[in-house]
Amino acid sequence: MLKPYQKSRSSKKNQIEKMFDKISDDYDFLNWIITFNSHKRWKNNILSIAKKLNPKKALDIATGTADIAIKLGSIPNCEVVGVDISEQMLNIGRNKIRKKNLQKSVSLQKGDAENLNYNDNFFDLITIGFGVRNFQDLEKGLGESFRVLKPNGALIVLETSVPENKIIRLLYSFFTRTYIPLMASIFSKDKLAYKYLLNSAESFPSGQKFKKILENVGFKNISIRPKLLGSSTIYIASK
Ligand SMILES: C[S@@+](CC[C@H](N)C(=O)[O-])C[C@H]1O[C@@H](n2cnc3c(N)ncnc32)[C@H](O)[C@@H]1O
> From the CB of 67, is ligand 1 less than 6 Å away?
yes
> From the CB of 86, is ligand 1 less than 6 Å away?
yes
pLDDT confidence band for 99 (50 / 70 / 90)? very high
Centroid of ligand 1 to alpha carbon of 224 (angstroms): 21
> From the CB of 88, is ligand 1 less than 6 Å away?
no
> From the CB of 89, is ligand 1 less than 6 Å away?
yes
> From the CB of 113, is ligand 1 less than 6 Å away?
yes
In a domain, 126, yes or no: yes
In a domain, 4, yes or no: no
- Show the domain range for 200: 16-238
Q: pLDDT of 27-37, one tens digit each?
A: 999 888 888 89
Among 121-125, 187-191, 227-231, where is mean pLDDT lowest? 187-191
> From the CB of 160, is ligand 1 less than 6 Å away?
no
In CATH, what number is assigned to the domain containing residue 95?
3.40.50.150
Number of independent structural domains in the chain: 1
Instruction: Using the predicted structure, report yes or no on whether residue 181 has a pLDDT greater than 90.
Output: no
Backbone angles phi, psi at 81, to 5 degrees: -120, 135
Strand-by-strand arrangement of the 232-238 sheet: 106-110, 79-84, 57-61, 123-129, 149-160, 232-238, 220-227
In a domain, 100, yes or no: yes
Residues 6+ apart with CB under 8 A from 25: 88, 92, 189
Mutational test site, ligand 1, from 15, 26, 84, max ligand atoms within 8 Å of CB: 84
Centroid of ligand 1 to alpha carbon of 153 (angstroms): 21
In a domain, 5, yes or no: no
pLDDT of residue 122: 98
In a domain, 11, yes or no: no
In a domain, 68, yes or no: yes
Instruction: Using the predicted structure, report yes or no on whether residue 182 has a pLDDT greater than 90.
Output: no
Asked if residues 238 and 154 have their Cβ atoms less than 8 Å apart, the reply is yes
In a domain, 2, yes or no: no
Alpha helices in 54-137 (DSSP H): 67-72, 87-99
pLDDT confidence band for 187 (50 / 70 / 90)? confident
In a domain, 7, yes or no: no
Looking at residues 114-123, what average pLDDT do you find? 98
Taking the C-alpha atoms of residue 155 and residue 148, their distance in angstroms, rounded to an integer, is 11
pLDDT of residue 8: 83
